[in-house]
Amino acid sequence: MSLVQRPRRLRQSAAVRRLVAETRVDPADLVLPMFVVEGLDEPRPIAAMPGVHQHTLASLAQAALEAAAAGTGGLMLFGIPLHKDATGSEATNPDGILAKGVRVLAETVPDMPIIADLCLDEFTDHGHCGVLTPGGRVDNDATLVRYQEMALVLARAGATMVGTSGAMDGQVAACRSALDEQGFTDTMIMAYGAKYASAFFGPFREAVDSSLQGDRKAYQMDPANGVEALREVQLDVDEGADIVMVKPGLPYLDILAQTAAQVSIPVASYVVSGEYSMIEAAAANGWIDRKKTILEALTSVKRAGGSIIVTYWATEVADWLNDRSDRS
């Protein structure tokens, strides 16, 4: 056969495949989400997310040290308080569990970026991401005031950046102005530019002891919409975001790729709890090769344009990547 073009030449051995690989995941690309719970005496496994735990302050510090030793790029912290109320008052308590957790991380791993989740859902007794009107709807503008207060508490606690995950209109601009007015001009904002009202968030509800009543479809995005996502992303960029995120990850790789092509700032993707749990469940049943599937999934996120990948596998995958002897 007189074939001039033989693409298979570039796949003939592990060494050649490594040489021509277009996409590589690096430990520094990975951010580990963590949950710290007020009042815990010891780490508590999350049943819906095998291998993931709710942390005490002490175990949080230990897990952070392990992530740092593996070379992961950063940590993302969620706090779960004992007391919840209608306005999420513990979210702006400088001695609350989230602020305490941020301080522990900042002291334990001072050279790692600490991303503090900025949302009220873990702190409200109704489980929504903001304060409610008398009629039960989330009040966008009243919520922005709470977000500004929360941003300042987290910045003072030592957060490198805040993750504006509440899906309120104008949240990036509101937090940016509050931070700048108080001198926190270096505190970054990771904007959840395209956050979908996704069924893949299911296991996360257990992780944060969610009190959600109803759903979040009135403020998180409709999974059917793509153009709207690009509008949301651009608004966050215009409002001063330093990083934009697409969430979830694998079901929205098309949105991730379009976002990466549109903006000139780093783009993050969050491989969420449901994605994690599906792979873990399939692997536990012997239906897929766990390690290969995880690496393939994260590589697809990187290939689509995610320069930062938030994943519950961050520390484990970073350890794998540090030992590249079996990569093919």
Look-up: residue for tokens 């509440």? 166
Instruction: Give the DSSP H or E segment for 261.
Output: helix 253-262
Q: Identity (one letter) of the amino acid at 48? A: A
Q: Which amino acid is located at 32 in the chain? A: L
Please tell me the distance from the alpha carbon of residue 67 to that of residue 204, in angstroms, as a whole number.
21
Q: Is the peptide bond before 110 cis (omega within 30 degrees of 0)?
A: no
Question: Which amino acid appears at position 179 of this protein?
Answer: L
- Let me know: does 25 contact 299? Beta carbons within 8 Å: yes
247 is catalytic: yes
Is 195 in the active site?
A: yes
**Secondary structure in 3-state letters for 100-147:** HHHHHHHHHCCCCCEEEEECCCCCECCCCCCCECCCCCECHHHHHHHH
Catalytic pick among 195, 291, 292, 302: 195
Given 84, 100, 247, 302, the catalytic residue? 247
Q: How far is the C-alpha of 68 from the C-alpha of 145, rounded, in Å?
A: 34
Burial of 134 (0-12, 13-18, 19+ CB in 10 A): exposed
Following DSSP, what letter does each residue of 86-101 receive, concatenated?
TT-GGGG-TTSHHHHH
**Catalytic (active-site) positions:** 195, 247
